[in-house]
Structure 1
Amino acid sequence: MSALRHERIDLPVLPLDTSALSSHARHLRTWRNAMFALFAAGGFALAAWVSRTPAVRDSLDASTAAMGWLIFAMAGGAVIGLLSAGPAITRLGAGPVIRTGLITAAAGLSVIAVGTMLGTAPIAFAGLVLFGLGFGSGEVAMNVAGAANERALGRTVMPTFHAMYSLGTLAGAALGVLAAHLGLPVGLHLILAALIVPIVAIPTVRLLPIGIGRVGQGQPKLTTAERLAVWADPRTLLIGLMVLGMGFAEGAAEDWLPLATVDGYGVSETIGAALFGIFVVTMTVGRLTGAALIDRFGRVATLRTSASVAAVGLLVTIFGPSAVTAAVGIALWGLGTSLGLPVGMSAAADDPRTAASRVSAAATVGYAAFLIGPPALAFLGEHIGLLHAFVAVLAMVVVAGIVAPAARPLTVSSTRVRS
């Protein structure tokens, strides 16, 4: 019996297309950098309004309760934007919704400016509805596009996107401090901000891939029942509750912190705006470092630790003996609140097919804090002072820490079930 011969077979070596890989990586970086700029533009627009709330109050001669209803107008517009964003993204893609949202928000700032110049609260109210509408729809679309980029990159990046939002907020707050210090009329300041936002947004959106979040031809479209089913999904609703708690903590600072410190600690408007700046700085630091913490310790542990830090910061801010100790508390408050919204939006978008609907649902539940919070805090503030009204915020942060396990990443099998 002859021995078996083992012949060597030489297969052709296919060349690795490094140029294609390089082009793909470059495309993802361009997409990521565009998202950095868009998140920053959104934060800048919001801070233009927030940093000048004391000046707006004085221009309109509004009480604390009246300011609560003005902020309620912005939150109401935002909820409409949030609810309409999911279907719009599914039909048009995230890019057009981001562009339209930021332009609408800029138009709202212009209308608010007119209201303050004329001293007419109804005009300012209408401007805040318009601002909230654009801000809410743009926020959902940016989070859908950011989550898609995060999946494509294969690593946690959503907190960094929200850090850029915080940097934009910091830039807007810095401009607000400067404007207040120089005595620049609030109307002129808001018009300037309204011009800057579309200058950044319009060309930047063109750098995004076409059709992010859009259901294309040949893909099974979500039925009405599937879109509505996300509202009955316990995980999505619990993520929304977590976002509500942490978003309430973030929104309370954005809406009321300058006024609360001016009234509660007797500091000047400039110092009040600067204390809000501290909140934004520490929030930015938390988001810049958050991606590494999440990759190392996981979403749940990071969120629970963050909620604990925020709770301590709120306690110090509310009950501290001076503005100096309040500044320390505000720093912890900002640091602890920093990861709630980005991690919540990333978790809601775990399933790519239903990402737009789930992000819209979770964000809408979360933004209930912005709808209910302003008048609730205003009501409490009228009776016990704005600083002590923040006790309600503290309670919601505790709830957010309790429901944090809902943000645990989906497995493949659970994704199939929920789809």
Structure 2
Amino acid sequence: MTESSPSEGVSVSGARGTPDRNPGPARTTPVLRRARTAVFLLFFANALAYANVVPRLPEIRDDIGLSNTALGTAIAAMPVGALVAGLSAGVLGARIGSGRLATLCTFGFALALPLISLASAWWMLAGCLFLMGVLDALMDVAMNAHGLRVQHGYGRSILSSFHALWSIGAVVGGLISTTLAGTGLALGWHLLAMGVLLAVLSVVVWPMLLPGPDEESGPREADTAGDGGPAVPAGRAAMAALPVVTMLGLLLVMSSVVEDTPASWGSALLQDDYRASAVMAGMAYVVFQTMMTIGRLLGDRTIDRYGRVAVARVGGLLIAIPLGLALLADSAVAVIIAFGFAGLGTATLFPAAMQAAGSIPGVRSGDAIAVVSWIARLGFLAGPPLVGLVGDRVNLRTGVSAVVIAGFGILLLASVLRPDARKAPGGTG
């Protein structure tokens, strides 16, 4: 990354290829504080968009007359859109600026969200979700890249707090949607109001972004080794980093299965298999996101004390064991509580992996984040139709057990978050 002029007080260098701990806090400026607020709002808006759709998915399914399998494949159109667009996010962010790209995507959500209420057939719903997937993939990379710029300016870890605001936005959106569904408000008016809110947020955020370009026009050479060794050419460093980037992506595939299941199938599971009311069924997603928020608010401090690998391994166990036991019981409350443990377990995985990807020496952070995010979308692509297919063939309890498998997968893959695993040859790790 490049470094802004001292008068702006916006340093975006100094964190590439470093260990978990950042250097001491830098002096903040009004520019940095405004930019931090802007990134908070971007993460909040991104979560708010889809979270307002999630609790009403059973209603949309029934209105259109879809089976669980058909709904699952329609939901899978969202990660398909993300996969189609995801790898272009780094290039677009470098060209127009990560903050501007994220803000434009927020305005895109404002236009796309109301279209879902107009869907009257499978292909229309799938098309709307495909468009939302495109916007989400571009915005995900862009807002994380801009968040890393702000973090580097602060000189300390704040990325988990941005993801905590994402979780807060998901909780708020889920509560709004669940409440409005309970009152019987028409889906069209609900999503139109959310679109107006997102448009307003995009206008507010635009002038608050960090000025200047995100990084150099291309990847620079990796940092020299701590013993004064030679710098490594950018191309060689990128090739050497590919296995680590792939493993980080696979870790997030597991995490995405965990995150998507309460969103896509939590309400349907509780209504179909546990005979829960629509309001109670919506709590699966809300409780999951609430506990994820708590985990992310405490994430930086917890990781500083115990390390990313230990926290991720405990998280995998928190995901797998409580839900595995709850699915064997006949209690909707037990399932909701287990989803809460899963939210706590997965809380730090995305910010930790994004920070790891953005810290690889010799690789442009936006490109590394884009690749890791693109691989992670495979979990969002495969998860919903797989759960829906098993739900139709057996039952949704069995389908949701994919989360248990993903939890054990996280346990096995957690070591990739160790700083030494991210070293490129000659880098400082």
Same fold (TM over 0.5): yes
SS at match of 2:87: helix
Aligned-pair identity (%): 28
TM superposition shift of 1:265: 0.6
Counterparts of 1:164 and 1:405, CA distance in 2: 26
Counterparts of 2:422 and 2:282, CA distance in 1: 46
* Aligned partner letter, 1:304: R
Pair 1:320 & 2:324 matched:
no
Who is 2:278 aligned against?
A: 269
* Contact 1:111/1:126 (<8 A) preserved: no
Who is 2:265 aligned against?
A: 256
Pair 1:360 & 2:370 matched:
yes
Who is 2:132 aligned against?
A: 131
Structure with greater Cα Rg:
1
* Contact 1:101/1:133 (<8 A) preserved: no
The RMSD of aligned alpha carbons is 2.8
Residues 146, 380 of structure 1: alpha-carbon distance in 2 compared, 3 angstrom cutoff: same
Pair 1:310 & 2:311 matched:
no
TM superposition shift of 1:387: 1.9
Residues 106, 228 of structure 1: alpha-carbon distance in 2 compared, 3 angstrom cutoff: farther
Residues 418, 409 of structure 1: alpha-carbon distance in 2 compared, 3 angstrom cutoff: closer
* Contact 1:34/1:207 (<8 A) preserved: yes
TM superposition shift of 1:34: 1.5
Who is 2:93 aligned against?
A: 89
Pair 1:381 & 2:391 matched:
yes
Residues 192, 413 of structure 1: alpha-carbon distance in 2 compared, 3 angstrom cutoff: closer
Who is 2:162 aligned against?
A: 161
* Aligned partner letter, 2:148: A
- Once the two structures are superposed, the pairs formed by residues 172-251 of structure 1 within 5 Å of their partners are 172-211=173-212, 213-216=214-217, 226=235, 229=238, 233-251=242-260
TM superposition shift of 1:282: 0.7
Q: Residues 31-77 of structure 1: CA distance to partner in whole angstroms, max 9, x if unpaired?
A: 22211111011111010111211111122111101101110111111
TM superposition shift of 1:415: 6.9
Counterparts of 1:405 and 1:349, CA distance in 2: 17
* Contact 2:113/2:192 (<8 A) preserved: yes
What is the TM-score with the length of structure 1 in the denominator?
0.87
* Aligned partner letter, 1:138: M
* Aligned partner letter, 1:392: A
Q: Residues 71-114 of structure 1: CA distance to partner in whole angstroms, max 9, x if unpaired?
A: 01111112223122011112222012102222222322122122
Residues 159, 413 of structure 1: alpha-carbon distance in 2 compared, 3 angstrom cutoff: closer
What is the TM-score with the length of structure 2 in the denominator?
0.85
Who is 1:8 aligned against?
A: none
SS at match of 2:291: helix
* Aligned partner letter, 1:76: V
Q: Which runs of 4+ in 1 moved over 6 A?
A: 17-23
- Segments of 5+ residues of structure 1 without an aligned counterpart are 1-16
* Aligned partner letter, 1:341: F
Residues 126, 412 of structure 1: alpha-carbon distance in 2 compared, 3 angstrom cutoff: closer
Pair 1:110 & 2:114 matched:
yes
Counterparts of 1:338 and 1:193, CA distance in 2: 26
Q: Residues 111-146 of structure 1: CA distance to partner in whole angstroms, max 9, x if unpaired?
A: 21221xxx2332222111111110111011111111
* Aligned partner letter, 2:288: F
TM superposition shift of 1:377: 1.2
Q: Residues 214-244 of structure 1: CA distance to partner in whole angstroms, max 9, x if unpaired?
A: 4359x8599xx94995697111111111111
Q: Residues 336-394 of structure 1: CA distance to partner in whole angstroms, max 9, x if unpaired?
A: 11111111111111137511111011111111001111111111111121222122221
* Contact 1:110/1:127 (<8 A) preserved: no
Residues 239, 252 of structure 1: alpha-carbon distance in 2 compared, 3 angstrom cutoff: same
Counterparts of 1:141 and 1:227, CA distance in 2: 25
* Aligned partner letter, 1:53: L
Residues 327, 412 of structure 1: alpha-carbon distance in 2 compared, 3 angstrom cutoff: closer
* Aligned partner letter, 1:288: L
Pair 1:57 & 2:67 matched:
no
Residues 378, 18 of structure 1: alpha-carbon distance in 2 compared, 3 angstrom cutoff: closer
Which structure's relative contact order is higher, taking Cα pairs within 8 Å and 6+ residues apart?
2
* Equivalent position to 1:100, from 82, 101, 104: 104
* Contact 2:174/2:286 (<8 A) preserved: yes
Counterparts of 1:129 and 1:145, CA distance in 2: 24
Counterparts of 1:232 and 1:18, CA distance in 2: 35
Counterparts of 2:106 and 2:69, CA distance in 1: 28
* Aligned partner letter, 1:67: L
Counterparts of 2:114 and 2:425, CA distance in 1: 43
Who is 1:408 aligned against?
A: 418
Counterparts of 1:243 and 1:56, CA distance in 2: 28
